Amino acid sequence: MTIAHRALGTGEHKVLVLHDWFGTSAAWGPFLDYLDPEAFGYAFLDYRGYGERLDVEGEFTLAEIASDAFALADRLGWDTFSVVGHSMGGKAAQRILAEAPGRVRKLVGVTPVPASAYPLEGDAYDLFHGAAQNPANRRAILDLVTGQRANPRWLDAMTARSVAGSRPEAFAAYLADWTTQDFAAKVAGSPLPVKVFVGEHDLALTAEAMRGTWLTHYPQAELEVLPNSGHYPMYEIPVAFASALEAFLRA
């Protein structure tokens, strides 16, 4: 099976990049312009039901994302690679590590969901689970996770891009999976170099949440709180985020 993806760079250090619940391989914002194409070779994967793979059928699970990621890496000839995952993609990245720890060089979580379950209750449950069918819910979530600081034009554009770039049934199924799956025991104690980025204004996936999950699971994990950013540093602070990401990958 051919797996649609976007490529950037031809460098020796190969990096697989996994998007968030709202995003696609094309939705990484202006920070792509500031990545180093000579040092790194990036591959941005679309999940089934999203982006260039909008019509591809599947179960729409983290396990399926990991399976497709391995298939893409194999087709590209990548024996080892680093993995960068944003939000839901951060949990999918950890699924890759759980299944093939010997293939992962470094792991980066960008405002990431932990490997443990992420339960939603009450109003939050209604808001998130209503987002598959209701664009207003998606916009409200975007406003929440960026600290209610983003302007209306950006929120409207991100909402429209999310609706156009994902199938509702895939969107709903991934949510059910990433909020309930718990494979923390499979990754806990991994000696892998790990970097976790959170935005200081993210009201959902906070530094405190990372200290109780990612930094507990990975002994070598480093946490960096990004100033003047919420859940989307690739849009909010693209130059600073690109620099911070590649500084870790180079180290």
Q: Can you give the three-state secondary structure of 195-210, one letter per residue?
A: EEEEECCCCCCCHHHH
pLDDT by 10s per residue, the chain, length 251: 678 899 999 999 999 999 999 999 999 999 999 999 999 999 999 999 999 999 999 999 999 999 999 999 999 999 999 999 999 999 999 999 999 999 999 999 999 999 999 999 999 999 999 999 999 999 999 999 999 999 999 999 999 999 999 999 999 999 999 999 999 999 999 999 999 999 999 999 999 999 999 999 999 999 999 999 999 999 999 999 999 999 999 99
Strands 81-86 and 194-199: unpaired
CATH for 5-250, options being 3.40.50.1820, 2.40.170.20, 2.40.50.140, 3.40.50.300: 3.40.50.1820
pLDDT per position as a tens digit, 90-146: 999 999 999 999 999 999 999 999 999 999 999 999 999 999 999 999 999 999 999
Task: Identify the pLDDT of residue 154.
Answer: 98
Packing angle, helices 152-165 and 135-145, rounded to 10: 130
DSSP assignment of 151-219 equals -HHHHHHHHHHHHHHB-HHHHHHHHHHHHH---HHHHTT--S-EEEEEETT-SSS-HHHHHTTHHHH-T
Task: Identify the pLDDT of residue 2.
Answer: 72
Q: Give percent of the chain above pLDDT 90.
A: 98
Task: Identify the pLDDT of residue 193.
Answer: 98
Domain edges within the chain: 5-250
- Contact (Cβ atoms closer than 8 angstroms) between residue 171 and residue 49: yes
Task: Identify the pLDDT of residue 89.
Answer: 98
Q: How far apart are CA 71 and CA 228, in angstroms?
A: 37
**pTM of the entire predicted model:** 0.97
Strand order through the sheet with 194-199: 5-8, 40-45, 13-18, 81-86, 104-110, 194-199, 221-226
